[in-house]
Amino acid sequence: MYQIIKSALTAVFICMLGVCLVGTVYGRDLPEIKKNGIIRHIGVPYANFVTGSGDGMDVELIQLFADHIGVRYEYVKASWGSVIGDLTGKKVKAMGDDIKILGDVPVKGDLIANGLTVLAWRKKIVDYSTPTFPTQVWMVARADSGMHPINPSNNIENDIIMVKSKLMGLSLLGKEKTCLDPKLYQIEEAGAKIKLFSFGLNELAPAIINGEAEATLLDVPDALIALNKWPGKIKVIGPVSASQEMGVGFAKTSILLKAEFNRFLDKCKSDGTYLGLVQKYYPAVFDYYPEFFK
Amino acid sequence: MKGQKRNMKIGRQAASVTAGGILLFFLAFLLVVNYRSQIKLQKTSLSQLVQTLDKQATIISYFYLERKIDLNNLARARPINIFFENKALGMSMAYGLKASLVQVGKQFDALIKEKKISKTPVYERIVFIDTSGNLLVDRRHGSDCHDCTLFWKDFLTPKESKAIVLPHRANQHIDVLVSTPYFFKGQFKGQVIAWVNTGSFSQTLMKAGNSQKRIFIDFGKDDTGFFFPEPGSLPIHQIQAAKIMEPFRFKLQDLEAGSLDFFAVRIPISETSFFMVTTLPVSDVIGYAKSSYLLIAMLVLAVIVIGAAALLWNMNARELVLQTRLEEEGLRKNEIEAKNIQLEAHIQIKNQLEQTLKESEEKFRNMSLAAQDAIIMIDNNGCISFWNQAAADIFGYSYTEAMNQIYYTIMLPPEYNQKRHQKEYEKFRKTGKGDLIGKTVELVVKRKTGDHFPAEISMSAIKLGGKWNIIGIIRDISVRKENEAELEKHRENLELLVKERTKELEQAQKELINKAIDSGRAQLSTMILHNIGNAITPVSINTEKLKNNDFKKTNQYLLECYNDLTKQKDNLTEYVTKNTRGIQVSKYMGSLIESLESQRFQIDTITDKIAAGIEYVAQILSLQSAYASGKKETKEKVNLNLLVEDALKIQESTILKKNIVLEKSLLSGISRLLTDKNKLMQVIINLIKNSCDAIDENPRVKTDEKAHMISVSTYQAGGKIGLKLSDTGCGVEKERLKEIFDFGISSKGSSGFGLYYCKSFIETASGTLTLESQGAGKGSTVFVEFPVTCGNQQSKRCLSS
C-alpha cells in the first residue's frame, strides 16, 4: 500500500513537473501572461518592423497589445537562427516545406513579431495571427549591374520566370531560415550562385552595393527601405515569389493569446491605429498593395 | 476851417478807396491760391493712391515670386531625380519605381503643410506629370480639392526654364497655378504644377478696407472672364485700355445712389502677367467737389464780398463820418467839463489855503504879542525886519523906531566890536552859518536908556526868498542873575555849616570807637575774669574736697587698732592668729591701710586738679597782661597762629561748655603781621565769641550737640595772610550780608559795635574782613586777610591740630 501511494505521488510529481516543463518548453498562454503581468516580445531586428533602436512597426504594435491586455511589455532580442526556438522551445531545421527538430532550447518569449513571413515550414511549428503586412520577395541588383529589370506582365508567374531567367551564373545573396532563403524559391535550380549571408537582412542591400554579390533577395518592405536609403545604387529586377504575407507568430499552445491578438488587430484596423503605424514606417507600401490595406 | 474839413474828407475817401483796393487784391489772391492748392491736393491724393496701390501690388508680386521659388526648388529636389534615375535604370512601377514617387509625394505634402498664409495652406494641390501627361504624383490639401481631370499635356512648358504663374479657368472658376518644368539631365521630363489658394490669398493680400473700394486681379487675358473676383458691371475693356499706373475715371450706375464717379487704377504685378485693378469712388480720393466748382464758388464769394462792401460804402459812409464827428464833439465837451470841475476844485483849495494862511498869520501875531521874550528877525542886510511888543518893552525901542535899524547899533553896547560883528554877519549872509547861530548864549545888551542888562539870546538862521535871515529870541535875565548871586551866597554858608557838622560827627565816631575799644577791652577783661572764675571754681571745689577728706578718721581708727595691738603685745602672734578679736583687728587694720592708700590717690588727684586750675589762672592772667595795654596803638610783628591759639584758650571754657567741636588747621611757617596785637586779639576773640553765640542761636543744631562745630584755619596765599573761621551757627540771610558790618547793625540785639569795630580795625591795618553765609541756619564763614608786607619773618612754630 505504501509502495502504491509512493508511486502515485511520484507520478503526480512527475506530471506536475511535466506541466511546469511544458510551461517552460512551450510558450505561455494568455492567463499565465496576465498572471505574471508581462508579455515577452521576441523580435529579430529587421527593416522597420524592429529597428533595433527600441521602435518599429511591430514593436509599437505589440506594445499596444500589452496595454490592451494590461500587462507590461518586454522586448527579447533574437536572431533568425534562434527566433523559432525562442518561442517554441524547439530547435528546428527547415527541410523544404517541412522541418526537422534538432533539440530543445529554452523558451524566451511569448510571441514573435518582426515581419515574420508566413512560410509553410514555419507553419509546422508556429501559429500565425491574422496577416499584418503584405510582402513579396524581389531580386535586387546593384544599379550598375548588367541585369536589366523586367518589364512587368500582368501575370506574376510570368514575371517570376523572367526574373529567374536572368539568374544563370549570377551571384546572389540569400539568408537561411528566413523568407529570403533561396531554397524556398528554387533559385539554385535557376543557375544562380547562392551566397548565404550571415549578417542581418538590413545589411543585404549594402552588401551588394559593396560588391559582395551581384544581386540579393529582398522582401518588399526591406526593398522599399533600401531604395529610399540608397537611391540610384540599387535596382529591382523583379519578383522571385508570389505575394506573401507577414504575421505575428505564436506558440501552438498559446491559443488564447493568439485569439486575443487577432481581436486586438481587428480593432486596430478598424480604428485606424494599424494604418497609422503602416503610414509611419512603410508609407510606400500603400501604393504597392492598395488592396491589402483597404 | 472849411478847407481843413474838405481836406480831411478827401483824405478819408482816398484812404477808403485804398483799403477797398487792397481788400479786393487780397480776395483775388486768396481765391487763386486756394484753387491751386485744391488742384495740387487732388493730384497729390491721386499720386498717393497710386503709390499705395503700387505697394500693394508689390506685395502680391513678392507672394508670387516666392511661389515660383518654391516650385523651382521642388523641381530641383532629389526625390524627383531619384525617380527618374530609377526609371532610367529600368525599374518598373510594379517593382520598386513607385517607392520613389512616394518620396516625391512626401515632399509635396511637406511643402503644402509648410507654406501657409493666414494659417491656411498656400497650396491647395501639387502635381507632377510626366511628358506623356501621366499624373505621377498628386498631393492635395483636402481630399475633394480640385477633383477634376485635366488634360495635363496642356500644362507642359518645355520651353520655359523657370516657373511661371498662370491662370486656369475650370468650371467657371479661376485658379492661379504656378508651373515649373522639370529637367532630368538637361532633358525635359515633366512638369510640377501647384494650385495657389486664391481664397485665402485674396482675403489676406487683396484687402480693400473700404466698403466701396474693390481690388481685382486682371489675369491679362482679353477674356473678361479672367478677372478675379467677378468684376460685375465694371467697364473692363476701358479699364484694360487705360494707361497703367494712371487713374482712369468712369461712371457706374447704382440703383440707389444713381450714377457715381469711380477711379480705376491698373497696376502691373511683377513676376506675373497679371494686373491689380483697384476701383474706388472719386469722392474717397479727391472729395466731392470738382476744382471747377470750387473756383466758381470762390468767385461767387468774392463777388458777394465786394458787392457788400460797395453797398455799405455808398449807403453809410457820410452818416458814419458825421456820427464820428458828433462823438468827437461830445468827448471834447466832456473833457472841458471835467477840466472846469478840476479848476473849481483848485480854486476852492486855494481859498482854503489863503484862509489857513490868514489864520496862521493871525495866530503868529497873537503869539508874538503874548510872548514875554523879545522875538526879532534880522534880514540879510542886518536890519531888523520884525520887532515884537516884548522886544519893544525890553529894549525900549518902539516897533517903528526899531524897524530897519542895524541890530548891533541899537542892541549891543559900544564896547562890543562892531567891525567884528559886521565881518561875522557878512560871513553869515553868504553861508547861513555863524558862531552864535543855533546856540543860546548870555550877552550883556543895552536898552534905549543906555542901561546894560544881561540877556539870554537864542539865534536861528532861516532862508527867505533865497536869502539868509536870523530869528532871535531874547530874554532879560537880570532878575535871574540877581537870584543866582544870592543862591551862591547861601550855598557857601551851607558848605561851611556842613564842614563844621562833619567834624563834629567824626569826633563823635572816634569817641564811639574808643568806647567800643574800651568795651572790647572790658569784654576781654570780663572774659578773662570769667575764665578765671571758671578756673577758680574747680580749685575751690577740690580744696573743699580735700578738707572733707576722711583721712583724719581713718588715721584715728588706725591708731585705735594700734593701741589694741599694743595691749596684746606679749601674745601678739597668738592674738592676731587665734583670737577672734585679734583677727578682726588685724583684718580691720588691713582694710584701713587700703583705705588710706585710696585716699592718698584721691588726694593726689585733687592736688593735681588744683595745680592745673592754678596754672590755668596763671595763664589767663598772663594773657590778660599780654593783651591788656593802654589806649595808645602800638604795632608789632605778630604771629597769627599764636594769637589764634591764645584766643581759643581764652574762649576754651565757653567752647567746652557749649560742647563745640573745634577743628584747627594752622599753617606752619606763616609770615608775621605788623599790626596792633591787642586789637587783633580782640577781633579774633570777638569772632570766636560770635561763632559760639551763633551756634547757640541755630535751632537746627541747638539740640544736636554733635553738629556744634567751629573750624579755624590760617593760610598764606596770593600775597595775603588769612584767617578763616567757620561755624555751624545760625548764619546770616543773604540780603543782610551787605549791612552786617554796618555801624549799629547787630543780629544779637547788642549795640552792633562788634563787627563794625572789627572791620574798621582790620581795614585800618590794610586788611579785609568778609563774611559768607548760605543763609539762615546754614552757618557762616569769616575771612580775615592781611597783605604780606616785605621783610616779614616766618614763624618757627607749627601749631596745626
Report the residue from B86, B101, B106 with minimal CB separation from A235. B86
Which residues in chain B touch residue A236, judged by CB atoms under 8 angstroms apart?
A: 91-92, 95-97
Spatial contact of B427 and B433, defined as CB atoms under 8 Å apart: yes
A236 touches chain B (CB under 8 A): yes
Question: What is the model's pLDDT at position B800?
Answer: 42
- When CB atoms are compared, the residue of B78, B90, B103 closest to A148 is B90
Distant-in-sequence contacts of A91-98, Cβ < 8 A, 24+ apart: A92/A125, A94/A119, A94/A121, A94/A176, A94/A177, A94/A181, A94/A183, A95/A121, A96/A121, A96/A183, A97/A121, A97/A124, A98/A124
* Nearest CA-CA partner of B125 in B103, B154, B149: B149
Which of A208, A236, A243, A281 to mutate to test binding with chain B, by most B CBs within 10 Å of its CB? A236
Give the chain B residue whose CA is nearest to the CA of A143. Answer: B89
Interchain pair A152, B92: CB under 8 A: yes
Question: Do A151 and B85 make contact, defined as CB atoms within 8 angstroms?
Answer: no
How far apart are alpha carbons B780 and B775 in whole angstroms? Answer: 8
Q: Tell me, yes or no, if A231 comes closer than 8 A to chain B by beta carbon.
A: yes
> What confidence category does residue B502 fall into, taking pLDDT thresholds of 50, 70 and 90?
confident
Instruction: Say which amino acid occupies B187.
Output: Q
What is the pLDDT, as a whole number, of residue B335?
A: 93
What tens digit of pLDDT does each residue of B601-658 get?
A: 888 887 887 777 777 676 667 666 665 555 556 788 889 999 999 999 888 888 888 8
- Lowest-pLDDT choice from A42-51, A119-128, B201-210: B201-210
- CA-wise closest residue to B795 among B678, B714, B726: B714
pLDDT value of residue B742 = 75
Chain A neighbors of B101, CB-CB under 8 A: 287
* β partners of residue B248: B264
A8 vs B126, residue with greater confidence: B126
In Å, how far is A22's CA from the nearest CA of chain B?
45
The 10s digit of each residue's pLDDT in B119-176 is: 888 999 999 998 988 889 988 887 665 555 677 788 888 888 889 998 888 777 788 8
Q: Is the per-residue pLDDT at B797 higher than 60?
A: no
Q: Name the residue in chain B with its Cα closest to that of A148.
A: B90
Q: Do residues B181 and B156 touch, judged by C-beta distance below 8 A? A: yes
Contact residues on chain B for A232, CB-CB shorter than 8 A: 82, 85-86, 89
| A290 confidence band (pLDDT: 50, 70, 90) | confident
Phi and psi dihedrals of B159, rounded to 5? Answer: -85, -15
pLDDT (tens digit, 9 = 90+) per residue, A201-210?
888 999 999 9
Predicted pLDDT at B290: 67
pLDDT of residue B403: 93
Contact B102 A287 (CB under 8 A): yes
Query: Is pLDDT of B779 > 60?
Result: yes
Average pLDDT over residues B253-257: 71
Please identify which residue in the block is written with the cell numbers 524559391: A185
Contact B95 A149 (CB under 8 A): yes
> According to the model, what pLDDT value does residue B801 have?
41
pLDDT tens readout for residues B205-225: 777 666 678 888 888 766 655
Cβ contacts of B106 on chain A, cutoff 8 Å: 283
CB contact under 8 A, A228 and B99: yes
Q: Check B91 against A236: CB less than 8 A apart.
A: yes
Q: What local confidence, expressed as pLDDT, does residue B626 receive? A: 61
Whether pLDDT at B457 is above 60? yes
Cross-chain Cβ contact A232/B82 below 8 Å? yes
Q: Which residues of B touch A218 (CB under 8 A)?
A: none
Q: B106 vs A283: CB contact, 8 Å cut-off?
A: yes
Q: Cβ distance B576 to B565 under 8 Å?
A: yes
pLDDT of residue B471: 94
Q: Is A198 on the interface with B (CB under 8 A)?
A: no
Q: Which residues of B touch A237 (CB under 8 A)?
A: 95
**CB B644, CB B733: distance < 8 Å:** no
Question: Rounded to 10 degrees, what is the CA torsion of B86, B88, B90, B91?
Answer: 20
Mean pLDDT of the region A104-113: 95
**A–B CB contacts, 8 A cutoff, strictly below:** 64
Is the CB of B100 less than 8 angstroms away from the CB of A231? yes
Q: What is the pLDDT, as a whole number, of residue B194?
A: 93
Sign of CA dihedral B204, B210, B212, B214: negative
Q: What is the mean pLDDT of chain A?
A: 89
Rounded to whole angstroms, how far apart are CA atoms B74 and B68? 10
Q: For chain B, which residues lie within 8 Å of any Cβ of chain A, measuring from their own Cβ?
A: 78, 82, 85-86, 89-103, 106
Region B452-456: what's the mean pLDDT?
Answer: 94
Strand bridging mode A72-77 / A38-43? parallel
Looking at residue B743, its pLDDT comes to 61
Half-sphere exposure of A191 (CA within 13 A, CB side): 9
DSSP state of A253: T
Residue B629 has a pLDDT of 52
**Hey, how many other C-beta atoms are within 10 angstroms of the C-beta on B55?**
11
In chain A, how long is the greatest CA-to-CA distance? 84
Across the interface, of A148, A152, A283, the residue whose CB is closest to B102 is: A283
CA distances, B587 to each of A7, B428, B560, B564, B575 (Å): 150, 138, 13, 13, 12
pLDDT bucket at B305, cuts 50 / 70 / 90: confident
Residues in A touching B93 (Cβ below 8 Å)? 152
Of A138, A238, A288, the CB nearest to B98: A288
Please tell me the predicted confidence (pLDDT) of residue B146: 58
Residues in chain A closer than 8 A to B89 (CB atoms): 143, 149, 232, 235
pLDDT at residue number B175 = 84
Cβ contact B85–A224 (<8 Å) = no
| The pLDDT of residue B752 | 46
Among B91, B94, B103, select the one facing A235 at the smallest CB separation: B91
Report the sign of the C-alpha dihedral through residues B528, B532, B535, B538, in that order: negative
**What is the rounded CA–CA span in Å between residue B112 and residue B194?**
9
Mean pLDDT of chain B: 83
Give chain A positions within 8 Å (CB) of B90.
148-149, 235
Q: What is the pLDDT of residues B317-376, one digit of tens each?
A: 667 778 888 989 999 999 999 999 999 998 999 899 899 888 988 887 888 888 889 999
Q: Which band of pLDDT confidence, cut at 50, 70 and 90, is reported for residue B425?
A: confident
Say whether residue A227 is in contact with chain B using an 8 A CB cutoff: yes
**Hey, of B91, B136, B137, B184, which one would you mutate to test binding to chain A, going by the most A CBs within 10 A of its CB?**
B91
Q: In sequence order, what are the residues at sequence separation of 6 or more whose Cβ sits closer than 8 angstroms to the Cβ of residue B322?
A: none
pLDDT exceeds cutoff 50 at B17 = yes
User: Which pLDDT belongs to residue B94?
Assistant: 86
pLDDT on residue B794? 46
Is the pLDDT reported for residue A23 higher than 70?
Answer: no
For residue B377, what pLDDT band results from cuts at 50, 70 and 90?
A: very high
Put simply, the answer to whether A235 touches B89 (Cβ < 8 Å) is: yes
Specify the higher pLDDT residue, B217 or B391: B391
Per-residue pLDDT band at B24 (split at 50, 70, 90): confident
Can you give the pLDDT at residue B456?
Answer: 95
B773 alpha carbon, distance to own chain's centre = 47
Domains annotated on chain A, with CATH? 2-134+245-288 (3.40.190.10), 137-242 (3.40.190.10)
pLDDT at A25: 46
Mutate to test the interface with A, among B82, B89, B136, B185 (most CBs of A within 10 A): B89
Nearest to A149 among B92, B100, B106 (CB): B92
Pick B99's closest partner by Cβ from A143, A151, A284.
A284
Give the whole-angstrom CA distance, residue B180 versus residue B516: 157
pLDDT tens profile B703-760: 666 678 999 999 999 899 999 999 999 888 888 887 888 765 555 544 444 787 788 8
Please give the residue that has the higher pLDDT: either B311 or B93: B93
Cα distance from B92 to chain A (closest Cα, Å)? 7
Instruction: Please compute the mean of the pLDDT values over residues B86-106 and round it to a whole number.
Output: 86
| Alpha-carbon span B581 to A204, nearest angstrom | 173
Q: Cell numbers for B781, please give them.
A: 564763614
Mutate to test the interface with B, among A48, A209, A227, A281 (most CBs of B within 10 A): A227
pLDDT tens track for B522-546: 666 666 676 676 667 767 777 777 6
Check if the beta carbon of residue B543 is closer than 8 Å to that of residue B596. no
pLDDT at B143: 62
Chain B contact set for A143 (CB, 8 A): 89
Q: How many CB atoms lie within 10 A of CB A216?
A: 31
Nearest by CB to A151, from B86, B92, B100: name it: B92
Chain B residues inside the 8 Å CB shell of A140: 96
Q: Cβ–Cβ of A231/B86 closer than 8 Å? A: yes
* Mean pLDDT of all residues in A36-56: 93
* A78-107 average pLDDT score: 92
Residue pair A37/A72 in contact (Cβ under 8 Å)? The answer is yes
pLDDT (0 to 100) of residue B302: 76
Distance of residue A176 Cα from the nearest chain B Cα, in angstroms: 24
Whole-number percent of chain B with pLDDT over 70: 87
Confidence of residue B390 (pLDDT cuts 50, 70, 90): very high
Please state, for a pLDDT cut of 90, what percent of chain B lies above it.
26
